[in-house]
Amino acid sequence: MEMPKPTDAHRRFENMAGNWRGAETLFPSPWDPNGGTATGQTKSRVALDGFTMIGDYQQERNGVVTFRGHSVWTYDVKDQNYVMYWWDNMGSAVNVFRGNFDGDKLTMNCTDYSGNWRLTYDYSNPDTLKSKMEMSQDGQNWAPFFEGEYHRVAAEEPKPAPAAAPAAAKAKKPIKKKPAIKKAAKVMKKKPAKPMKKKAKAKRR
């Protein structure tokens, strides 16, 4: 049996994936009455032999991470549309967005307990990603929720682990030299030499 292969629709994930970072504008909403600006970053990669794309998103405001999200993308061959499953640190159930491309723009919609959401991605520039999200209570009148423009950035290389400190050499115990044993000098007593006996001269007869 031949295994399924990714379609041309799945292969679009290859251009969508990457590391994206850029500025965001947040419009006043029930969740943020004053709105403001933030920095958003998404790291996404193609997975499962090209059938899905997995992404991790975080938002920073004043140097502090204030929002995190996780997404899993696929293409529904039966319904012929893109599907994104989204979880975030707000603690709500998974949100499911569905939509399609019109040229290089992907528009997706989701309905949950808080209303209707419309998310648009513009991939017309390979190194710049523009996105915006809109919200609506009736699905007819839409208000901006946020807009962002992100640029493709190089992947951060993992920092090399610090080199392990060389093991301290074991201190060798100094070899203690045994103190030299002083031998008492032996006084050699010399015996007095015996006097030589003179041989008597033989008398002449």
pLDDT of residue 201: 46
What is the pTM assigned to this prediction?
0.73
pLDDT of residue 161: 58
Calpha distance 45→65 (Å, rounded): 22
Calpha distance 15→172 (Å, rounded): 63
pLDDT of residue 155: 73
pLDDT of residue 169: 47
| 114-152 per-position pLDDT tens digit | 899 999 999 999 999 999 999 999 888 999 999 999 999
Taking all residues of the chain, what is their mean pLDDT, rounded to a whole number?
A: 84
More confident position, 205 or 66: 66
Instruction: Compute φ and ψ for 115, nearest 5 degrees.
Output: 140, -155
Calpha distance 129→203 (Å, rounded): 150
| 146-204 per-position pLDDT tens digit | 999 999 998 765 456 566 655 554 455 555 555 554 444 444 445 555 555 554 444 44
Instruction: Say how many Å lie between the first and final Cα of the chain, rounded.
Output: 151
Calpha distance 198→204 (Å, rounded): 18
Residue-range domains of the chain with CATH: 8-152 (2.40.128.20)
The string of DSSP codes covering 21-64 is EEEEEE--BTTBTT-EEEEEEEEEEEEGGGTEEEEEEEEEETTE
| 53-82 per-position pLDDT tens digit | 999 999 999 999 999 999 999 999 999 999
Sign of CA dihedral 16, 98, 66, 91: negative
pLDDT of residue 154: 86
